[in-house]
């Protein structure tokens, strides 16, 4: 039996050692591949979030500019003693009319708060 055991170890020992080295190498390669793909996904997510963040910041900036312009317009209308204030009153009336017309659009009427289909 010891002779067969020595032959068996000589035949199979190096093969198993080579298989362990290749297995470890493939494990490291798989780990590296997964890590790189996760890094790419993270970069894509961060890029998409930065685009959304930039869009929101631009939107909020535009809203703030509009609010400031309307505030200046309302301040000048409150004076009511210049020709420009009458023009501003007409602009405010037109803005209210546009707002009302937009609210009456068919696509706005279907978007009810309590309506769920």
The residue written with tokens 């067969």 in the block is: 4
pLDDT for 115? 44
Q: Residue 41 has which token pair?
A: 């996904």
What gap in Å lies between CA 22 and CA 50, rounded to an integer? Answer: 42
Encode pLDDT of 22-42 as tens digits: 999 999 999 999 999 999 999
Q: How far apart are CA 64 and CA 88, in angstroms?
A: 19
For residues 102 and 17, what is the distance between their CA atoms, to the nearest angstrom?
76
Region 98-103 average pLDDT: 69
Q: What is the model's pTM?
A: 0.46
The pLDDT value recorded for residue 21 is 93
């Amino acid at each position: 039996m010891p002779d067969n055991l020595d032959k068996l170890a000589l035949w199979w020992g190096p093969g198993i050692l080579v298989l362990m080295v290749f297995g470890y190498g493939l494990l490291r390669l798989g780990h590296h591949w997964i890590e790189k793909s996760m890094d790419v996904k993270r970069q894509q997510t961060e890029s998409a979030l930065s685009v959304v963040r930039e869009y929101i910041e631009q939107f909020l900036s535009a809203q703030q500019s509009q609010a400031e312009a309307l505030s200046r317009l309302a301040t000048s209308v409150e004076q009511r003693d210049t020709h420009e204030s009458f023009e501003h009153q007409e602009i405010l009336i037109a803005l209210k009319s546009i707002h009302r017309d937009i609210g009456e659009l068919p696509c706005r009427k279907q978007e009810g708060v309590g309506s769920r289909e």
